[in-house]
Amino acid sequence: MCGIIGYRGEREAQPVILSGLKKLEYRGYDSAGVAIIGDEGLGIEKMEGKIAQLEDALVKSPKSGKVGIGHTRWATHGEPNDVNAHPHQGCTDRYGLVHNGIIENHRRLRKELESRDHEFSSDTDTEVLIHLIEEQEGSLEEKVRAALGEVDGTFAIAVVDADTPGKIVGARRGSPLVVGSTDDEQFIASDVPAILDYTKEIIYLEDNQIVSLAGSGIEITDFEGGEAEATTRTIDWDPVAAQKEGYKHFMLKEINEQPQAVGDTLRGRGFTDGGLKMDEGELREKDVAKAEKIFIVACGTSYYAGRVAKYVWEEYLDIPIEVEIGSEFRYRNPPLDENSLVVGVSQSGETADTLAGLEKSREADATIASVVNVLGSTVTRRSDAVLYTHAGPEIGVASTKAFTSQLVALSLLGLEIARMKGKVTVSEAKKAAGKLSRAPGLLQEQLENVDRIKELAEVFYEKDDFLFLGRDVLYPVALEGALKLKEISYIHAEGYPAGELKHGPIALIDENMPVVALITKNSVYDKVYSNIEEVRARKGKIIVFTDELTEDTKSIADELIHLPRADKVLTPLIFTVPLQLLAYQVAVLRGTDVDQPRNLAKSVTVE
Ligand code: AGP
């Protein structure tokens, strides 16, 4: 997820663009740049680093002009550096383009363009767009329309052309883009906060629309060139609220971004005869085929994602899969050697204990793959192969969209490992991966439970303890649900395998102990049910989340949330969202700092 902005009007464009980029920094902050059309043509300044560093550079070398675009980046293709920063140019220095989204067919387009003597300067997917545009004929709008007709994937773009100095052209498909205007100026941006200081009348572009900002005003057309309508709204948010798109907290915004985050993580990824393509590095078949054991190394929520993966991977892998907490793994003497496959899981890619576990693995000549959300982060540089989650920046300390994105990325990685070990064929891997395509829709459905979850929270938010129970693939989901609740509401909460109750925790059960029971119709359904009956017999308050709505589950529950049933690989995703919402609603009622809970940091880069 990146932030783009454009301005044309009577003011100097640079300060407008910089102030807008600062309001978009929550969308990405690993590099930034501007392109401004002045008397000497197009002036570009772009660099790795935060917007403040770009601002310092522009103080030394200001770009004068009243038309320009800007970008703040969250890298998805091409690590953060000066060359990969936007705006991008093509073969000439005439154009500047900024982009938010993922171009799925960028490799093929790049090959075709290079065969037509286009020379590329960056490793990004974005750069293909400006090379396509500069090949076209006609007006800037016509060039953009023709070029985007070649593109698969998602985009929100803004383009300037030094030979058409008074104009900015934008377009969107699958990534947000808004425009605004006053009497003599127009604005375009990824999101409202960037332009809210100048106008509250916001036009939300729809998918497959092209917008032209010119002296004559704003013109919106569709991809066939016909006139198009778009929604105009009067925004009464303050800029900070607008960064959360009206949500009260970044955590709630990010919970609601999960369909998009998981969709983006799955987008453009599939099994060809050559298997699943890694984003960086290479998972060598011979290394994986010889692996006699797998270690998944992670911390916190990422560790729970690894625990879920173990259950899913054991469906088709028959070698030991150990899921290890980084801080323990790094100091033990695990049986690591050149026949070990180690998988690091990390949202930030900077967690010290996970990194130490990977370094230990490297010293033992293990093969290392990683699932990471931040491009170019340290974990990726300690790995032979990387599969990125495309969850975008996760601002809330409590991990939500990164977790569900990790679940689908790990499912794909597990299938590739099984394919390399000859446990599944490419077509079996394709079929299994195809089940994941339902994930965004199922996640969206669970977000509609919010009112019922609020009711639940109102009943239980003053409790001092919670127990979360699950079996099989829902046991790590119970652990994650307990972590979400404890880390943002400060209520003591524990996740337990339901079968362990009689080995101790049942002593905790009384009428003051809410027990969250995760029950799915699988091979251990009856076992979980009888565990919950034990709780019922001791007057525990039982909150059942289940995909099996029967007289049994209704009779055993004090509160029941009915969830859709789906394939095992999707069940953790379905059950996680209501637990995230429960933790969030309880924390809001308890008045804690949801986005920055006490004592916690977003990335634990020290031991
Ligand atoms: C989860 O909500 C926490 N923020 C924390 O447990 C986090 O998952 C853990 O610190 C690991 O972080 P990472 O994914 O960036 O490595």
Question: Mean of the per-residue pLDDT values for the chain?
Answer: 95
- Does ligand 1 come within 6 angstroms of the Cβ of 580? no
CA of 413 to the centre of ligand 1 (A): 20
Tell which atom from ligand 1 comes closest to the C-alpha of 601: 4
486 has pLDDT over 90? yes
303 has pLDDT over 90? yes
Q: What is the structure's pLDDT at 301?
A: 98
CA-proximal residue: ligand 1, atom 4 (nearest): 398
Cα end-to-end span (Å), the chain:
30
- Does ligand 1 come within 6 angstroms of the Cβ of 604? yes
Q: pLDDT digit string (tens) for 430-485?
A: 999 999 999 999 999 999 999 999 999 999 999 999 999 999 999 999 999 999 99
- Does ligand 1 come within 6 angstroms of the Cβ of 370? no
Which burial class, exposed, middle or buried, applies to 234 when counting CB atoms under 10 A from its CB (0-12, 13-18, 19+)?
A: exposed
What is the C-alpha separation between 171 and 173, in angstroms, rounded?
Answer: 7
595 has pLDDT over 90? yes
Q: Which residues of 24-56 are buried (b: 16+ CB within 10 A; e: fewer)?
A: bbbbbbbbbbbbbbbeeebbbbbbbbbbeebbe
- Does ligand 1 come within 6 angstroms of the Cβ of 347? yes
CA of 295 to the centre of ligand 1 (A): 18
Task: Report DSSP letters for 514-548, one per residue.
Answer: EEEEEE-SSTTHHHHHHHHHHHHHTT-EEEEEES-
Q: What is the structure's pLDDT at 606?
A: 74
Order of strands across the sheet with 492-497? Answer: 492-497, 465-470, 514-519, 541-546, 559-562
- Does ligand 1 come within 6 angstroms of the Cβ of 398? yes
CA of 526 to the centre of ligand 1 (A): 33
What is the C-alpha separation between 358 and 322, in angstroms, rounded?
Answer: 14
Q: How confident is the model at residue 230 (pLDDT cuts 50, 70, 90)?
A: confident
DSSP character for 227?
A: B
Closest CA to 303 of 383, 403, 405, 401: 403
Q: pLDDT digit string (tens) for 42-80?
A: 999 999 999 999 999 999 999 999 999 999 998 888 889
- Does ligand 1 come within 6 angstroms of the Cβ of 479? no
What is the C-alpha separation between 432 and 379, in angstroms, rounded?
Answer: 28
Name the token pair of 521.
Answer: 């119709």
193 has pLDDT over 90? no
Q: pLDDT digit string (tens) for 560-593?
A: 999 999 999 999 999 999 999 999 999 999 999 9
- pTM of the prediction? 0.82
Active site residue 299: no
With the most atoms of ligand 1 within 8 angstroms of its CB, the residue from 301, 395, 598 to mutate is 301
242 has pLDDT over 80? no
Q: pLDDT digit string (tens) for 491-520?
A: 999 999 999 999 999 999 999 999 999 999
What is the C-alpha separation between 358 and 378, in angstroms, rounded?
Answer: 11
Of residues 531 and 238, the one with the higher pLDDT is: 531
Active site residue 91: no
Tell which atom from ligand 1 comes closest to the C-alpha of 398: 2
User: Rounded to whole angstroms, what are the CA distances from 32 to 27, 244, 500, 561?
Assistant: 12, 21, 51, 45
Q: pLDDT digit string (tens) for 10-47?
A: 999 999 999 999 998 888 889 999 999 999 999 999 99
With the most atoms of ligand 1 within 8 angstroms of its CB, the residue from 299, 303, 304, 353 to mutate is 299
